[in-house]
Structure 1
Amino acid sequence: MGHSYQRRRPGVRRALRRRTGLAVPLRLRADIDPRIRSDHGRAFARRRYRSPHPSTEDLRSTKAMANRASARARKAIAAVMAVASLVGGRYVVSAPNEEPIPAAVKLAIDANIIPWEGLVLSAHWDRFSKRYDICHGDTLINGKPVTAGMRFTKEDCYKILIVRVVNDYYKPLTRCIAGFDTLPISLQASMISGAYNFGVGSTEKRTGLCGSSAARFARARNYYAACEAQTAFNKSGGQFVQGLDNRRKNGDATRIGEAELCESMPATGLPVRPN
């Protein structure tokens, strides 16, 4: 039978959306549950009222989304797809004498991670974390801490980054999001970049990307909602950070944002963009 919901009043729906800060409408009862009126109640509202399977109304509500696509993001996607090969139903990129890597990993690295993380070729002391890092924020090389005086070339750092992204981010995401490697390449890439920045996390503990609304929408194959849901990770220490907001959304003058890349996905094989 499932749950029986009373007729939803538009005014109630809008009120709940304001209180919960959700971009996509919730499946709601007609009365306003007092438990969602506090900050602590936001998580409760998400758990109690949001359907894990987006309805037609949910899909239509994304018409305000999917408007971040850009020519530069499409160009970045096209550049990777031009050198990608379809192997076993998955797109991979390979170079001479090197192991093939998922095309989404290369797109994430080239379009998002390197531009936003920067590059340091000599060991750098991080006064906040109290340890040395190098390349693209790496603190461990071959399982050992970075030490003073350590140096790498740009090419070395790129190879280190590929191994790290594949093992520490791509593979864990394939385990927590069923069919992750069959998602649109731009969605995969934006989620890899997000996980690199704020953590893979855990589905059970509802932390990081695996425990986020973005992951839930990706599992439900609601691609555009997944792109937008990831933009919520724009805070550090509970405080809004403009740089993180730029990274999550439309980027800046020289760097592509994650949602911008995500929503520039190729049309082939995707559901119709909401009208």
Structure 2
Amino acid sequence: MILVKPIPAFDDNYIWCLYDDVSHQAAVVDPGDAKVVIAALEAMNLELAALLITHHHFDHTGGINTLLALGDIPVYGPHSENIPQITQRLSHGETLSLLGLEFTTLEIPGHTLDHIALYSEQAEGGPILFCGDTLFAGGCGRVFEGNPGMMLASLNKLAALPANTRVYCAHEYTLANLAFAKAVEPGNPALLARITSDSQLRQQNRPTLPSTVAMELATNPFLRCDQPEVAASAAQQSEQACTDTTAVFAAIRGWKDNF
């Protein structure tokens, strides 16, 4: 069976470790910190078989060189001059086989231009998605290199995945994201229930992840730009008319940047 375990790093990163509990082979997603990865591998008696990279930011790539010293380890990631260690570059729709699972590559630019996600329908318990810093639990990444339309299109790709897809993003930003979501859409009962349940998880020092696509569609304002209350809140914050979902997204993303 393939299992997924979070390796906490820095202040709020999660480095995701997929591993086979029979072969003890492991793949690690976005290893920003090699030290915590090595410690986790040793604690679980796992052998590193691959690295998966979603985008070039240092908190996702900073541990690559140290981990490559452990052996001949393939590095899968986007077409990006900023990540020279990648040995297999992945384009939209390309697949890779890893630990007995087949993953499909989704190009999701916006946070960075090189951002990808990896999606598999074959995991036990339902589909899994590793989406880096594009879709967060209750939120989305800042638009650093793309534009609002590009980011919204990328989020819509992820929103179109099966509702039971488990969403493994790279940061524990959930409670802050949900506080903002409540400001945008205070009348959303699913959101209010989520704030309660996720707050309880954090009080127990447990991750709020993975989320699901269904949960994000019900509570994440950046996936709800077509909802009247979200559009109305966006219009109140924007100096321009929010006449379409891209304008709504741009308004609430700018609002969140200063929230």
Where on the TM-score scale, by shorter chain, does this alignment land: which range? under 0.3
Which has the larger Rg?
1
Q: TM-score, normalised by structure 1?
A: 0.24
More strand by percentage? 2
More helix by percentage? 1
Larger relative CO (CA 8 A, sep 6+): 1 or 2? 1
